[in-house]
Amino acid sequence: MELEPPFHVYIVGLGIYGFEQVTREVERALRQCKSIYYVDPRPAAQIHLPGFCPRTFNLRSEYADFKQRSQTYEEMAERTLMAASLDPPVALALYGHPLYGATPTQILLKRAHERGLRTKVFPGISSLDVLMVLLGLDPVVRGLQIYEANDLLLRHRPLQQDVPCLILQIGSVESFLAFRGKNRPRRFELFKRHLLQFYPSSHELMICRAAPDPCIETMMVPIVLSELETAYEELTLAATLYIAPVQEKPRDSNLLRLMTSQDHLRQIVFLD
């Protein structure tokens, strides 16, 4: 079945674990494409994507040491858009969810709109979905703070002690340049000082990494805040830092009473 109306670019998520989380609608979109451009570190992508379209291009080759990641993302988007303008449709296939922590997608969507190219986005299972399971989180209960590590520092963002917190891309903090080396402990000292403004030094954090394929184990490493930099080997690009709430904020007792009142409900809704 063809996807209608015709699009120039299908932007799809490939999920987190192996290739088992690719949805049927993503598979259908990939089969329509003349070429697939993908950003995915897993061998499974290189193995399975040619089964949908023989012309596949791994955009991870755009990365280079000491190169601005923003430049890399622009080049990824431009390569995809160029192909889409010459021989559509094409796909931009990304690890996880295509709009979750995916700068190339944002660049592509903006420029495609400016050039009159039609796009369609298909979701995928993100690392956030997996972390919800690993950590037993339900953001509906207590809310959820999510920040990118560099943005957190650059904007001096305050953190709420009573709300669970996820820090993304902790392994790239203090630099926008790509690298393939290992972090030093000092990379996390400034970041730790920022956290100490909001959490006690004895507060336990969790370093998490969702397993990308069956050959790699999920990582869950506890670490006390005061010793954060000592876990520099675990604080990689793929790691997310989870900060559990310190305490529960008390609820407004008067408003809570209203929320259990039938009389109040009659005042705020139309009842049949």
> Percent of the chain beyond pLDDT 70?
96
Q: Would you say residue 102 lies in a domain? A: yes
Mark which of 125, 151, 175 sits at the end of a domain. 125
Angle at 111 between CA 107 and CA 112, to 5 degrees: 110
* Residue-wise pLDDT tens digits, 201-229: 999 999 998 776 666 678 899 999 999 99
| Residues 174 and 219 placed together within one structural domain of the fold | yes
Helix (H, G, I), strand (E, B) or coil at 148: strand
178: domain CATH number is 3.30.950.10
| Residues 112 and 136 placed together within one structural domain of the fold | no
Main-chain phi, psi angles of 16, to 5 degrees: -105, -40
> How far is it, in rounded angstroms, from Cα 95 to Cα 124?
8
Q: Would you say residue 33 lies in a domain? A: yes
| Residues 121 and 140 placed together within one structural domain of the fold | no
| Residues 194 and 206 placed together within one structural domain of the fold | yes
* Residue-wise pLDDT tens digits, 48-107: 899 999 999 998 877 777 788 889 899 999 999 999 999 999 999 998 999 998 999 999
DSSP string of 9-32, one letter each residue: EEEEE-BSSTTTT--HHHHHHHHT
| Residues 91 and 117 placed together within one structural domain of the fold | yes
| Residues 133 and 220 placed together within one structural domain of the fold | yes
Place of tokens 């000082």: 193
Contacts of 72 (CB under 8 A, 6+ apart): 62, 63, 64, 178
| Residues 140 and 119 placed together within one structural domain of the fold | no
Kindly tell me if the per-residue pLDDT of 253 is higher than 80: yes
| Residues 154 and 116 placed together within one structural domain of the fold | no
Q: Which amino acid is at 267?
A: Q
> Percent of the chain beyond pLDDT 90?
72
Q: Would you say residue 266 lies in a domain? A: no
Q: Would you say residue 26 lies in a domain? A: yes
| Residues 132 and 121 placed together within one structural domain of the fold | no
Q: Would you say residue 146 lies in a domain? A: yes
CA 145 from centroid of its chain's CA atoms: 13
| Residues 151 and 228 placed together within one structural domain of the fold | yes
Q: Any idea what DSSP says for residue 177? A: B
Q: Would you say residue 263 lies in a domain? A: no
> How far is it, in rounded angstroms, from Cα 219 to Cα 67?
28
> For the CA atoms of the chain, what is the radius of gyration?
22
Name which of 176, 211, 182, 15 is nearest 97 in CA terms: 15
Domain count, the chain: 2
Mark which of 72, 96, 125 sits at the end of a domain. 125
CB 8 within 8 A of CB 90: yes
Kindly tell me if the per-residue pLDDT of 1 is higher than 60: no
| Residues 137 and 198 placed together within one structural domain of the fold | yes
192 lies in which domain range?
A: 128-243
Mark which of 125, 142, 166 sits at the end of a domain. 125
What is the value of pTM for the model shown?
0.86
17: domain CATH number is 3.40.1010.10
| Residues 118 and 136 placed together within one structural domain of the fold | no
> How far is it, in rounded angstroms, from Cα 107 to Cα 104?
5
Measuring CA to CA, how many Å separate 191 from each of 131, 153, 215?
A: 22, 7, 32
Contacts of 221 (CB under 8 A, 6+ apart): 206, 207, 208, 231, 234
Average pLDDT value for the chain: 91
Q: What is the pLDDT of residue 132?
A: 92
Q: Would you say residue 270 lies in a domain? A: no
Kindly tell me if the per-residue pLDDT of 12 is higher than 90: yes
Q: Would you say residue 250 lies in a domain? A: no
Contacts of 215 (CB under 8 A, 6+ apart): none
CA 262 from centroid of its chain's CA atoms: 42
* Residue-wise pLDDT tens digits, 29-41: 999 999 999 998 8
